[in-house]
Structures are given as structure tokens and as C-alpha cells.
């Protein structure tokens, strides 16, 4: 039995990765990971006038909701998943979780950021592919 990690941020690409993992690795141990990005403040306009601690609390709540949604999606495909919420820079946390959990395979969406953000910040999936201790499937749909 393989251990498969699926980073999940609720984006269309992440949903595609989760569905792919449920179809391809249905009999394996699936873990869905949401990372509260503490490295930068994404979409600050959503949090104007809010303290940084409150932003992270809101992101944690959003993450918990997305993990519940991921579990429901997996259930629709006949899969059960473990869910994990962690904090930090997404690419580093994904690699750390893969290493600590002795993950055999990572399945993730190609991107979730807009074109401008990707230009300046780079792609999480690119950094994971470069540093992951296991094989990585990058799903584009």
C-alpha cells in the first residue's frame, strides 16, 4: 500500500488532483493537506483592518472547511482520506509532511495562483517537484 499526499487549497486544480488521486490510488492511504500560508499575506484586501493573528485564524477556519469538502469529494469517489492542517510556506510544508509521513507519492494541482502572483512568487508545484523526497504527479485539470 502506498502513502499518497494531496495538497489541497480548494482551487480547481487541487480538486482535479484530488479526483485523480481517488481514481488512481483508491486502495492506498490518502492524506489531504491544507497549508495555512504564514509566509506572506495573500489577498490582503479580504483582511483590511484585521490583525495578523486573526488572519491566520480565519485561514485556519477556511482550511478546516476545505478539508471537510475534500473529504466529501473523496467519499463521492469511494475513497476515505485523512486530513491535515499545517502552517508555514506551502512548498516547504508539503515537502516536510511528505518526508515526515514517509509519503510515496504526491499528487497536486499545477497552480492555484493568478498569473501575476505566479510571476513574482513562483509556483508551489515547481518547488515541490524540485525538493520532494518522493515522486510527484502535477495535475493540470
CA–CA distance, 53 with 121 (Å, rounded to integer): 23
134: helix, strand or coil? coil
Q: What does the pLDDT look like over 35-55, one tens digit per residue?
A: 998 876 555 556 566 677 777
Strand partners, 36: 87
Residue with cell 508539503: 94
CA–CA distance, 107 with 28 (Å, rounded to integer): 13
| The CATH number of domain 3-139 is 3.40.462.20 | no
pTM: 0.86
* Strands of the 105-109 sheet, one edge to the other: 81-88, 29-37, 3-7, 105-109, 135-139
Beta-carbon contacts of 48 under 8 Å, excluding residues fewer than 6 positions away, are none
| Cα three-residue angle 43-91-7, rounded to 5 degrees | 85
Q: What does the pLDDT look like over 1-40, one tens digit per residue?
A: 899 999 999 999 999 999 999 999 999 999 999 999 887 6
| Mean pLDDT over each residue of the chain, to the nearest integer | 87
Domain residue spans in the chain? 3-139
Beta-carbon contacts of 61 under 8 Å, excluding residues fewer than 6 positions away, are none
Average pLDDT over residues 58-76: 96
Amino acid at each position: 500500500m502506498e502513502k499518497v499526499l494531496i495538497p489541497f487549497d480548494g482551487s480547481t486544480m487541487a480538486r482535479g488532483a484530488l479526483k485523480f488521486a481517488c481514481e488512481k490510488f483508491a486502495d492506498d492511504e490518502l492524506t489531504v493537506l491544507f497549508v495555512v500560508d504564514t509566509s506572506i499575506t495573500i489577498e490582503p484586501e479580504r483582511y483590511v483592518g484585521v490583525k495578523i493573528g486573526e488572519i491566520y485564524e480565519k485561514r485556519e477556519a477556511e482550511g478546516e472547511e476545505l478539508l471537510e469538502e475534500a473529504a466529501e469529494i473523496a467519499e463521492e469517489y469511494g475513497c476515505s482520506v485523512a486530513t491535515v492542517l499545517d502552517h508555514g510556506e506551502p512548498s516547504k510544508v508539503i515537502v516536510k509532511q511528505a518526508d515526515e509521513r514517509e509519503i510515496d507519492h504526491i499528487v497536486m494541482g499545477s497552480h492555484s495562483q493568478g498569473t501575476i502572483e505566479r510571476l513574482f512568487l513562483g509556483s508551489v508545484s515547481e518547488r515541490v517537484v524540485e525538493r520532494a523526497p518522493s515522486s510527484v504527479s502535477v495535475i493540470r485539470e
